[in-house]
Structure 1
Amino acid sequence: MSFVSVSNVWKKYNNRSIIERVNVDILEGEFISIVGASGCGKSTFLRMLLAEETPSRGEIRIDGGAPAKEPNQERGVVFQKYSVFPHLSVRENLIAGEGFVTPFGKLFGAKRRVAVARADEMLERIGLNHVADQFPAALSGGMQQRLAIGQAMSARPRILLLDEPFGALDPGTRIQMHDFLMELRDETNMTVFMVTHDLQEGFKLGDRVLVFDKPRWDPHDPGMYGATITYDFDARDGGIPFQLKEETDVSE
């Protein structure tokens, strides 16, 4: 049974289709890499998975639940630019991640003590326990990105969404971050969606690689049609394409 179900999803801005006819089913625990040319809707698709934006048509369901209207604790997100709080220490950034699941984002008394203990455990796991009291600006790029992933995971999401998370890192640090992410994924079995411009990275990390492209193109009006999933590769089996879900609406 699919864990994430995307059914006939379209997204328009000012009557311009960005994404159209997107249909895909994802199993729980799968790592999905998303690739494609700039401007073909990859980040828009990620924002809809996050429920930061809602589809213009169609729906996205998580574990059979109702389509989300706004982001919630089921979904954690990490962007290319280090998405941490610069005014908080490394430890307090992780405690803030715990606070995302509370009604007012605040933790007091016993709940805060438990959050501090879990933050210290996460810091050891991500290799930042030695800089727990420093601020993010004092950390290297790779350390800041590890902190961002640790913060996202502190809210204990079922889905981790990554938007070009390693694009700003040097090659050596990038390889270290690949290993770190795969270790965390194996430990938690969370479902991961990662947008990347690096095809090699997509196949290295992903169980499946979704390719977004525009199958319809008007040379007189390049913005007329939106992108969709044109290929769904099984990266675990030498890049063999999955059978794409049947398109349920080809109008417009």
Structure 2
Amino acid sequence: MTEPFIQALNVGKTYGQDRILERVNATVHQGEFITLVGASGCGKSTFLKMILGIEQPSSGELLLNGAPMPNEPGPDRGIVFQQYSVFPHMTVLENVVAAKGFQKASLSGYLFGKEKRQARQEASEILHQVGLGHALTRYPHELSGGMKQRLAIAQAVIGKPKILLLDEPFGALDPGIRADMHALILDVWRQHKLTIFMVTHDLKEGFYLGTRLWVFDKLRHDPHAPNAYGASITYDLPVGATADDLYREIDEQIRPTPIFNHHSELTETP
């Protein structure tokens, strides 16, 4: 067994009096693909932000290769959101080259000469990999939703990150397009040997993609103080090895309706 790549040791996160996460413990090895599910507002995206470095734990430790997770984003961690982040005045190719340029220490991020030619070559290769080889000269307003998401993945991957964070990346896409994106992200994961964390509200998607599924939920509930307790990882399951009754139980937990579960008589999910 290899050394842990990422470790969460009793990680907690609070904002003022609101406790979002508590007692999160997990060990991840390089190359794993983790999907995160849970009711809206249970801290899944907050956990992603802590890995990215734009949020820090309020308690406990989050470690990368045995050292504290850097408290700012770096090229070793790429992220793709549901909302696209592109420059509308740049072509598809120029957007990916710009993403490469922003890794530089300079304020402008501009590339020149041989460095720029190399970046354009890399960007072109990655865009062909994600199925946008025919659209290098198009502008973002000329792209469909699925094409924009392919562009966002190319922007994240050109930095050659070790970790790719996906925050509900396919939630706004039609089912047919989502199936294509599932095949794409699995291909990108294998080809670039990434460690992936993906937040999703779709349990079927969570069980289909990757190697492990985490369920975030609150172990303790106070109906008079709904934010008094934070969520933790209540299930850590290998993908493809879950009984039907457990699948239904988890599916009920992440629906945004009042539900009954084994933790309490009535749980109100936000």
The correspondence for 1:212, drawn from 210, 216, 221, is: 216
| Partner-residue secondary structure (3-state), 1:237 | coil
Instruction: After the TM superposition, list the runs of 4 or more consecutive aligned residues in structure 1 that deviate by more than 3 angstroms.
Output: 236-241
The correspondence for 1:159, drawn from 157, 163, 168, is: 163
Match of 1:182 in 2: 186
Match of 1:250 in 2: none
Match of 1:147 in 2: 151
Residue 108 (1) aligns with residue 112 (2)? yes
Task: Could you tell me which runs of 5 or more consecutive residues in structure 2 were left unpaired when the two chains were aligned.
Answer: 247-270
Distance 2:133 2:148 in 1: 13
Asked whether the equivalents of residues 51 and 69 of structure 2 are also in contact (C-alpha less than 8 Å), the reply is no
Match of 1:15 in 2: 17
Residue 94 (1) aligns with residue 96 (2)? yes
Indicate how the Cα distance of structure 1 residues 239 and 50 shifts in structure 2: closer, same or farther if over 3 A, else same. farther
Alignment: residue pair count: 241
Residues 130-150 of structure 1, C-alpha deviation per residue, up to 9 Å, x if partnerless? 111111111011000000001
Asked whether the equivalents of residues 99 and 107 of structure 1 are also in contact (C-alpha less than 8 Å), the reply is yes
Residue 119 (1) aligns with residue 123 (2)? yes
Kindly state the Cα deviation for residue 189 of structure 1 after the two structures are TM-superposed: 1.3
Match of 2:250 in 1: none
Higher mean C-alpha deviation, range 183-192 or range 123-132: 123-132
Compute the TM-score of the two structures, normalised by the length of structure 1.
Answer: 0.92
- Identity among equivalent positions (%) equals 52
Asked whether the equivalents of residues 186 and 210 of structure 2 are also in contact (C-alpha less than 8 Å), the reply is no
Asked whether the equivalents of residues 97 and 120 of structure 2 are also in contact (C-alpha less than 8 Å), the reply is yes
Distance 1:205 1:83 in 2: 24
Match of 1:223 in 2: 227
Match of 1:57 in 2: 59
Task: Could you tell me which runs of 5 or more consecutive residues in structure 1 were left unpaired when the two chains were aligned.
Answer: 242-252
Compute the TM-score of the two structures, normalised by the length of structure 2.
Answer: 0.86
Distance 2:149 2:43 in 1: 24
Asked whether the equivalents of residues 233 and 239 of structure 1 are also in contact (C-alpha less than 8 Å), the reply is no
Residues 119-168 of structure 1, C-alpha deviation per residue, up to 9 Å, x if partnerless? 11111111112111111111011000000001000111110000000000
Distance 1:71 1:106 in 2: 19
